[in-house]
A = this chain, B = another copy of it.
């Protein structure tokens, strides 16, 4: 190929592709009004030249403002959702130079109708993109119907509803994560004949699309394959019980099942159980749970929780906003399925857990 100036200009590309400068510009910006054959010629030249338009300069020069809305369940300080949101805020701060603003909406997961106000607010604000945790499947379907009609791209975080075809999903493969939890729990014990799943439930009738369920599914797959004789008990713990009531429930359970020496939870509430074991000075019970909440990590270090499985919620939140923004601002192509790692943390490696974004 002939010699080219160090900095390739659009008119060089036009000359080589034998099209007009306007055509090159339209191809570069993905605009309509270009014949297939011209488009192909331009793209071939771009590829040969290894041409990357200076996306930063274009975006900075543009005056276009971008608004992303994210919709999350209401949550308390120290919860799993706080970390998701922390990552989202970090990503948005990193892109303020490009006229990006990011704005939150919250719903009460136990009062699904509170999601309707979120839908109304999204439609009123008409954002450039939306990030949602689709924990309420039916409500999510309604929202996505509206977004599709308005041509607004959306990203799922934490859990996925694949048939809604999001621009991208960031979260764990929950079934595989439960399978992995089973394999690790069984390492702690010698062919146990009994174990228990502690479930945290909400007494109402709300059907939450729940990672807990998928993780339990994967866990049971592991057990039926590798430990088919192990008897699996379940203990439902209502989120509305007082700490005293939880203790009484656990006392009763352990009195009735004196031989059970291992168990797990598929949600982030393992700290409640670890603290119970510490209060009762039960040393020979092997407990596994999820997520690096402060109280969980404390139990891990104390030895009352043996393993925590984690999934980098800060990075999940960060990537959901960052990738959607780069898609909107820089026309970046986005990968649809982005599974988070299935991280195993013990007292000995938890201090080096990488879920921190510092950019």
Could you tell me which A residues sit within 8 Å of B by CB distance?
Answer: 52, 54-57, 60, 96-97, 172-173, 176-177, 179-180, 183-184, 187-188, 190, 312, 335, 339-344, 346, 348-349, 351-354, 358
Residues of B contacting A354 with CB < 8 Å? Answer: 312, 340-341
Contact, CB under 8 Å: B335 / A341: no
Write the chain B residue with the least CB distance to A350.
Answer: B342
Complex Cα–Cα for A340 and B351 (A): 10
Contact, CB under 8 Å: A342 / B352: yes
Q: Which of A60, A176, A352 has the most CB of B within 10 A?
A: A352
> What's the number of copies of this chain in the assembled complex?
2
Residue in B176, B183, B348, B353 whose CB lies within 8 Å of A176: B348
Contact, CB under 8 Å: B312 / A339: no
* A190-B190, A339-B352 as given contacts; A56 in contact with B52, CB under 8 Å: no
Complex Cα–Cα for A339 and B179 (A): 29
Complex Cα–Cα for A179 and B346 (A): 12
* A188-B187, A349-B342, A358-B335 as given contacts; A54 in contact with B180, CB under 8 Å: no
Q: How far is the CB of A217 from chain B (nearest CB, A)?
A: 15
Residues of B contacting A352 with CB < 8 Å? Answer: 172-173, 176, 339-342
Write the chain B residue with the least CB distance to A60.
Answer: B57
Residues of B contacting A180 with CB < 8 Å? Answer: 346, 348-349
Q: How far is the CB of A172 from chain B (nearest CB, A)?
A: 8
Query: 9 new A-B pairs (CB below 8 Å) besides A176-B352, A184-B346, A340-B352?
Result: A56-B97, A57-B60, A57-B97, A172-B352, A176-B351, A177-B349, A187-B188, A341-B354, A344-B349
* A54-B97, A353-B341 as given contacts; A348 in contact with B173, CB under 8 Å: no
Contact, CB under 8 Å: A348 / B60: no
Complex Cα–Cα for A114 and B183 (A): 48
Complex Cα–Cα for A271 and B183 (A): 22
Residues of B contacting A97 with CB < 8 Å? Answer: 52, 54-57
Complex Cα–Cα for A156 and B180 (A): 35
Q: How far is the CB of A190 from chain B (nearest CB, A)?
A: 7
